[in-house]
Amino acid sequence: MSNEQRLQKAAFAGGCFWCMVKPFDEQPGIVSVTSGYTGGSTRNPTYQEVCSETTGHYEAVQILFDPEVFPYEKLLDVYWQQIDPTDPGGQFFDRGHSYKTAIFYYNDEQRTAAEKSKQELGVSGKFDKPIATAILPAKEFYPAEEYHQDYYKKNPGHYERYSHGSGRKAFIEEHWGEKS
């Protein structure tokens, strides 16, 4: 099987998609991380439409990866460590449907792995509230506007201020003991 035939897609919503690219980017086996919109009903939504909370979309990232180098279960581990999985109303200071957390699965194996990892996190004792992250079938993924792609590289100062100011960075350090 060629490398291209082995590649799989994964999609995760974790609040602001700017903060969901860097943790996955440049890992071995990760081919690309694209910011975009998924889960809604509007075709080709714009950032403004998604932010209006009328499209049903989540801000998300779609990851193209080689599961032989970076298994899906490892993607799930990285994902959980970027979010507050107990928050049903958004992430940090970003509120509303488009900022909720969700794992979008592309096949039964991903669904099973996602459900297992969610259950394991729920009984781990790491959080004192239930895990609110949804596990949903993947829908059409629409790449976000170019200025949103690789935002942490294009605007590192603003990205760092956002990561700190939103509360995400402190939450990750407190709950996972790692720097984001």
Q: What is the pLDDT of residues 44-99, one digit of tens each?
A: 999 999 999 999 999 999 999 999 999 999 999 999 999 999 999 999 999 999 99
Average pLDDT over residues 134-140: 97
Give dist(CA 180, CA 177) in Å, integer.
10
pLDDT class for 4, splitting at 50, 70, 90? low
Identity (one letter) of the amino acid at 89? Answer: G
Number of structural domains in the chain: 1
pLDDT given at position 179: 47
Query: Does the structure show a pLDDT above 60 at 167?
Result: yes
Query: Does the structure show a pLDDT above 60 at 180?
Result: no
Q: In the chain, what's the furthest Cα-to-Cα distance?
A: 45
Q: Which domain holds residue 14?
A: 3-176
Average pLDDT over residues 113-123: 97
Q: What is the pTM of this model?
A: 0.93
pLDDT given at position 8: 97
pLDDT class for 26, splitting at 50, 70, 90? confident
Active site residue 16: yes
What rounded mean pLDDT belongs to the chain?
93
pLDDT class for 5, splitting at 50, 70, 90? confident
- Give phi and psi for 36, each to the nearest 5: -175, -160
3-state helix, strand, coil in the chain (%, to 5): 35, 20, 40
Catalytic residue from among 16, 19, 21, 144:
16
CATH code of the domain in which 131 resides: 3.30.1060.10
pLDDT given at position 178: 58
